[in-house]
Amino acid sequence: MSQGFPTIVGMSDETLQALETSAPTLSRPGLLVMDVDSTLIDEEVIDELGAAAGCGGKIAHVTEQAMRGELDFREALRARVALLRGLPVSVFDEVYRRLHFTNGALALIDALHAHGWKVGVVSGGFHEVVDRLVADAHIDHALANRLGAADGTLTGEVLGEIVTKDVKLDALRRWAAEDGVPMDQTAAVGDGANDIPMILAAGLGVAFCAKPRTRAAAPHAVDERDLRKVLDFLS
């Protein structure tokens, strides 16, 4: 099932180093970590929350810029979350009902679990939604942002440390250590610029239906919305 590495003119040193790492194998336990919005699921949760707040277009525009790496992710997230102030916390129930697991997502997770792998998700989205996805998909690890709330409404603030590209990378490494998995037995999948560091650090890095910057940086790419295609890169 393994595939040869492509030759890409102008590939960065970091990408070349990633290519030199042998591909993970399903014959030994491993760890896959993936992004949530537009990867594990088809939607962007922040955009869905924005639609509920009546400012969906404005939030979606900022989301697109942030995922292309054109804006500082922390500031972009704070600006979008501020627009959600006053929304009732019941909005999470409404939004969750509108979400869809990406085609092949559950099959990929089940296949990896059958081979003794663990699966984690790291998200610039929110635990208030991600935790429900984790329970439904039987995911082993999860890290996301948390939103402030008081008296049953959102405060427009993000609580604690914001999940950035560096936090995602740290989570990949930490979970691998916790699970006793060497880094060459890890895989990382994502679509946005903030997924690039973990994609390059993993034994297998895959850009999934990704933004141009992410696709150019990643050793491998899947351009069809079917997460089962990730299995094609595992020996």
Q: Which residues are catalytic?
A: 35, 37
How far is Cα 154 from Cα 198, in angstroms, rounded to an integer?
Answer: 31
- Which letter does DSSP use for residue 220 in this model? E
Are 119 and 50 in contact, with CB atoms under 8 Å apart? no
Neighbours of 14 (CB within 10 A): 13
Per DSSP, 227 falls in state G
For residue 3, give Cα distances in angstroms to 11, 73, 97, 130, 204. Answer: 18, 33, 37, 32, 11
